Chains A and B, each alone.
Chain A
């Protein structure tokens, strides 16, 4: 049984090319992935991300539960609406999923996790909940629409009530607010400004259509992938999974080591890995000549081999970029080699971030 989002009929009406995405029939593009990518970098585009899983965590122990569950510390969240990106680890220190947590109060949080990992995430959370006085509640009755790009916020403003406009006015990145029927967050997966908006199912089609009427470009999973890769954002299942430490996935910044007595799952393993200093690291690779870096290609360095975790053609830069896991001794600026079809090519190591707000950043 294939799942369909509440916007499925809208995709078909826009001539989307549909693909199976972990059990969901989703648009890969509406004609040209590159044109959709460029729309987000230059104007505005929108994505149906209703397949993602919303989980509310509530109750007297909600805070204590999340301080145990994830590697970042939700105790850092003190302003209502503030969001946190982090990872959820297994006992061996591998990444079960990456997620965003919105803080409403010490007894009320909203998590957004990946759809591909939905079942194992819910099973893991339920298992870890034992002993905590809190509830976890999936919220499938919403659509989620991401509107991204330099013109995105202005386009969305046309659809908001005066009260909603006032609430999002000047809202900093990585905040979310519920006003009326909409939950509006300044988050995204593209490296551009914009919103991710949680809409009641009954209103989702209408919301989408109004954005279409305002010339916001509908974008598929193809453009979503090239945009997030240019922005240097990880994709679960490619850049990290249950066998990969967050230290090896450019997620060290999402770990809160302080306070030392916070016993989050995987802490002992991460502490030992950090002390040993032997975890590989995730870097960016840039290929200026012809060709496209792709997942699983072998990276050759003087310190040993690594692997490309995701690679693509960057429409913004006009050449290929990739994320790769390489030995820790490899440095930004090094020139190393990638085994491509029938030949080795030279690539330059960069920080794992290529484009932000329409501009090259390496």
Chain B
């Protein structure tokens, strides 16, 4: 069973969301997701300034095994992307919930966070996979 931090929110498509305050959230993919994908070799990130809507495919995590779409878990504007992933995509494998973060979104509506899964809800969703 992989690590699922209780302070984060989750989408069933395996993104995690951390509320940073000020209406900004950090987004990454879960440890479970990186484990399924295997060694990461490229991560294609959105551009800062992009307006994204919940469910849009906004990034691609490409591992040795497969290319996988990453979806925006909330609606808002991309305000920062993790440029370290350009040279070190393996950070997604080694520290999925930390240095392997993907991008930050300024939320249009903070209430949307309530629609995401909590740790237990995500744990249940991957049990059903």
Q: Given the interface contacts A222-B65, A312-B64, A341-B60, does A292 sit within 8 Å of B39 by beta carbon?
A: no
Q: How far is the CA of A315 from the CA of B41 in the complex (A)?
A: 9
Contacts of A255 in B (CB 8 A): none
**Cα–Cα distance between A312 and B64 once the two chains are bound (Å):** 7
Contact of A32 among B60, B66, B67, B93 (CB under 8 A): B93
CA of A38 to CA of B3, assembled, Å: 28
Residues of A within 8 A of B67 (CB): 292, 294, 341
- How far is A222 from B39 in the complex, measured between Cα atoms in Å? 10
B46 at interface (Cβ–Cβ under 8 A)? no
A252 at the binding interface (Cβ < 8 Å): no
Q: Is the CB of B41 within 8 A of A313?
A: yes
Q: How far is the CB of A287 from chain B (nearest CB, A)?
A: 11
Instruction: Assess whether B108 is interfacial by the CB under 8 Å rule.
Output: no
By beta carbon, the residue of chain B nearest A290 is B42
Q: In the complex, how many residues of chain A place their beta carbon closer than 8 angstroms to a beta carbon of chain B?
A: 15
CA distance A291 to B89 in the complex (A): 13
B42 lies within 8 A of A291 (CB): yes
A33-B39, A222-B38 known; A290+B64 contact, CB < 8 A:
no
Measured CB to CB, the nearest residue on chain B to A36 is B39
CB distance from A349 to the nearest CB of B (A): 22
CB < 8 Å: which of B60, B64, B90 contacts A313? B64
B60 partner residues in chain A, CB cutoff 8 A: 341
B44 within 8 A of partner (CB):
yes
Cβ contact within 8 Å between A226 and B64: yes
Contacts of A292 in B (CB 8 A): 41-42, 62, 67
- Flag A21-40 by CB within 8 Å of B: 1 or 0 each: 00000001100111000000
Chain B contacts with A in 19-76, Cβ cutoff 8 A: 38-39, 41-42, 44, 60, 62, 64-67
Total cross-chain contacts (CB, 8 A): 33
**Distance, CA A290 to CA B39, complexed state (A):** 16
* Interface positions of B from 81 to 110, Cβ below 8 Å from A: 90, 93
List chain A residues, Cβ under 8 A from B93: 32
Provide the residues of chain A in CB contact with B64, threshold 8 Å.
Answer: 33-34, 222, 226, 312-313, 315
- List of B residues within 8 angstroms of A226 by Cβ: 64
* Shortest distance between the CB of B39 and any CB in chain A (Å): 5
Assembled-state Cα–Cα distance A150/B111 (Å): 58
Q: Using Cβ atoms and an 8 Å threshold, which residues of chain B touch A222? A: 38, 64-65
A180 to B: closest C-beta gap in Å: 39
B3 to chain A, nearest CB (A): 16
Q: What are the residues of chain A within 8 A of B39 when measuring CB–CB?
A: 32-34
A159-177 vs B: 1/0 string, CB under 8 Å? 0000000000000000000
Report chain B residues within 8 Å CB of A291.
42, 62
Cβ contacts under 8 Å, B38 to chain A: 28-29, 33, 222
Tell me the chain A residues, 288-330 only, with Cβ under 8 Å from chain B: 290-292, 294, 312-313, 315
Interface residues as binary, A330-342 with B (CB distance below 8 Å gives 1, 0 otherwise): 0000000000010
A312 to B42, CA, bound (A): 12
Bound Cα distance A34, B62 (Å): 14
15 contacts between A and B (CB under 8 A): A28-B38, A32-B93, A33-B64, A34-B39, A34-B41, A34-B64, A34-B90, A222-B38, A222-B65, A294-B66, A312-B64, A313-B62, A315-B64, A341-B60, A341-B67
The 6 closest A-B pairs by CB, nearest first: A313-B41, A34-B39, A33-B39, A290-B42, A292-B62, A313-B64
A34-B64, A222-B65, A226-B64 provided; 18 other pairs, C-beta below 8 A?
A28-B38, A29-B38, A32-B39, A33-B39, A33-B64, A34-B39, A222-B38, A290-B42, A290-B44, A292-B42, A292-B62, A292-B67, A294-B66, A312-B64, A313-B41, A313-B42, A313-B62, A313-B64
